[in-house]
Chains A and B, each alone.
Chain A
């Protein structure tokens, strides 16, 4: 498990205004009077590692390597809005697909490599730190309390914003989730994609068991 420092007031997340403005996720944003480096305590961004089974998810063997517990809570709040109309109705199945998609998001981010992981860490930290969650995302409650309607409103605000920074944040969140969800075989039926042709799977050596 990656060992990342827990952020405290002495060791704040790397959110200095200048570094944020310089980055891909940063762009040109005026942060107003929010002080990014003062008063940050208990901002836990260590990877979640193994977490307890989520409702119907029987197997808690997946080891999170990037997403922290707060990041997972963020995605648990966003995915019902990101995939409205596409998630199973049945609560256990629904919860399973949400949990499985979050695991795939984590796996995907591992392969992004350090530079873009750093960008996402800034984005997630911004969304998980109440002062910036409120001023930039206009989300008043913490993510576990956010309703699907509120999550959708937040996504639309960032999508429609005049600020390129927030558009970029919207695309980052929606793209990584969309690819992890619609790209997986459990969701192929939603796009009418039959999967790789069966005749090819039968004919090619890489699909035969060793």
Chain B
């Protein structure tokens, strides 16, 4: 264990961090503010509030994993850092959900891509949801502040081969492409962001706002699951939480009661609606859990004549917005094109197959390249989103039905991605779809893709970005919180995570969460100071 590691140093210096799995007795703790979730929203909130002098308790269901645990190993990472050990899916099993479950949340396992909320999205929110205060020029200083806090900058190192192919294909076809800004400091360009950054270069919540909060006397419980917010009259009185046992997933039987003047929920677009539903908080217009968005992801894989080694190098450094906004909000669904890293475990799980054919496909891994399309859901009436509801055991589940509108977009995205890959010199291209085959020409691929059945399970769909479910809006009949993340019906409750987005973002969402959480936390700090 390295004493150059901020977490190790902080723990040794006396940070107030409690591993709830080690607790043997029920207990109560109290602070000015309880923050539920230690991801993009929770970390930002806790740091800002604790620096303003408020006592803060952070609650994290997942474990505290840091450099000593990050050994660039897929299997241990997927089991320990991801929701449901990487087995989380939508209710019908058709969409795989990649989401973090650990201190730092999804920012501990994301691929570092950092984008401001697109202006088109902010303007749509203003026009459609009455969110006047989120105009691009108003949000600009908040984006700047978080870009600095998380060391975000366009990636200057040449893109790895996997990403170059997206660039080359776009160039050949006259499509626009840009370099992705990344939240890294001293990155070794290795490509293991998705299994926990082994060098502490990634400036997610784990390396920035969580240490910042803990340095300012915040207390953090990890291995502690928020169960219910309990109200007294019109305010939340306390949070009931259950400690996980040593396996991290089975409750130990110990409960912790957390009291505070104000509660900030930042448990993700699946976790936050789940918590509000379990708590049976006032929801007179039945909005909680509705309009849940995921940037549905489709993928194609190409076999290139020269080695790609898609498992090495910064995983995402090139993107194309050529197809993202060109149809406006009323036309066919837009999508952002990016590149995913391909490590063997993930590749074997994503390519739908078995036996000799699977072995032959995966045997080509060093020559494989992939493009993904992230569909910009939530902007069209035929893209109303999914619903988060509770299973019998109280855990949240996302039901996301794909509509014909979205299926059309999936098919079109396969076509655009395959065309780009052939234009970049691919020998063969295959859609990640159970009925797809390798095709050695764009003409052949195009004809075949137009015949693929667009059906759940057969087309392999993924999500790495979960948004909505506690949407913002000026009208309480259509939203859960106002433009500052303040709950419409409960005075001492705020929501500071991606669940407040009224639509999907149209870009990787971490910076949107950081910026809104910062703005909303500064306001919260002012309100709390005024009260006392």
Contacts and interface: CB of A to CB of B under 8 A. Distances in A.
B405 to A, nearest CB: 20
A183 to B, nearest CB: 3
A182 interface: yes
A84 B359 contact: yes
B347 A24 contact: no
B359 A83 contact: yes
Contact of B4 (A113, A172, A205): A205
Contact of B352 (A110, A174, A205): A174
Interface string B241-253: 0000001111000
A74 to B, nearest CB: 15
Interface string B348-375: 1100111110111011111000000000
Given A112-B84, A179-B348, A192-B366, A206 B68 contact: yes
B464 to A, nearest CB: 17
B434 A159 contact: yes
B395 interface: yes
B190 A193 contact: no
Interface string A98-128: 0000001001111111111000000000000
Contacts of A109: 85
A179 B190 contact: no
Interface string B451-494: 00001111000000000000000000000000000000000000
Nearest to A183: B345
A84 B352 contact: no
A180 B78 CA distance: 11
Interface residues of B, number: 67
A27 B93 contact: yes
Interface stretch (A34-42, A88-96, A163-171): A163-171
> Looking at chain A's contact residues, is the secondary structure mostly helix, strand, loop, or mixed?
helix
A82 B344 CA distance: 16
B92 interface: yes
Interface in B76-95: 78-80, 84-94
Contact of B93 (A24, A191, A200): A24
B363 A192 contact: yes
Contacts of A178: 348-349, 354, 358
A83 B1 CA distance: 38
A64 interface: no
Nearest to B79: A111
Q: How large is the interface on A (under 10, 10 to 19, 20 to 34, 35 or more residues)?
A: 35 or more
A159 B110 CA distance: 31
With most chain A CB atoms within 10 A of its CB, the pick from B78, B347, B349 is: B349
A67 interface: no
Contacts of A205: 1-2, 4-5, 67-68
A50 interface: no
B355 A206 contact: no
A108 B79 contact: yes
A123 to B, nearest CB: 10
Contacts of A32: none
A198 B360 CA distance: 26
A140 interface: no
Given A116-B88, A204-B198, A183 B356 contact: no
A70 to B, nearest CB: 21
A35 B233 CA distance: 50
Contact of A197 (B75, B312, B355, B366): B312
B69 interface: yes
B75 to A, nearest CB: 5
A77 interface: no
Interface in A49-79: none
A167 B434 contact: yes
Interface of A: 24-25, 27, 81-86, 104, 107-116, 152, 155, 159, 164, 167-168, 171-172, 174-184, 187-188, 190-193, 196-197, 200-201, 204-207, 210
4 A-B pairs with the lowest CB-CB distances in the bound complex, closest first:
A183-B345, A111-B85, A205-B2, A182-B348
